[in-house]
Amino acid sequence: MSGKTISAALVDEEKYFDKNEFYAPFAQRMGTPYLCRTLNVIIVKHIKKCLPVIRSKITSMLYQKQKELKSLQICPEDGSQTEH
């Protein structure tokens, strides 16, 4: 570790990409902030894609468990359960 703060390291990283002759043309698409934005977009898209499937599975499981719970009756006299 160099003992730099995160903000100082980000500034140095930006300067490096801006001043390096090979990276300068691509500087806006390099570095930690760009990587964070890009990964954030990717994960949000993935979540939006998967969420309906997950929601459907949860709803289906909930319905099955509610049906199973309904099939169990509690006997009012002694509190025991009987299955139908």
Read off the pLDDT of residues 32-42 as tens digits, 9 standing for 90 and up. Answer: 999 999 999 99
Please name the helix (run of DSSP H) or strand (run of DSSP E) that holds residue 77, with its range, or none.
Answer: none
Strand spans (E) along the chain = 72-74, 81-83
CA 54 to CA 52: how far, in whole Å?
A: 5
Instruction: Please tell me the pTM assigned to this model.
Output: 0.64
**pLDDT for 82:** 63
Tell me the sheet residues that pair with 82. 73
Q: Mind listing the pLDDT tens digit for each residue in 23-78? A: 999 999 999 999 999 999 999 999 999 999 999 999 999 999 988 888 886 655 66
Q: Confirm if 13 and 28 have CB atoms less than 8 A apart.
A: no
- Is 40 strand, coil or helix? helix
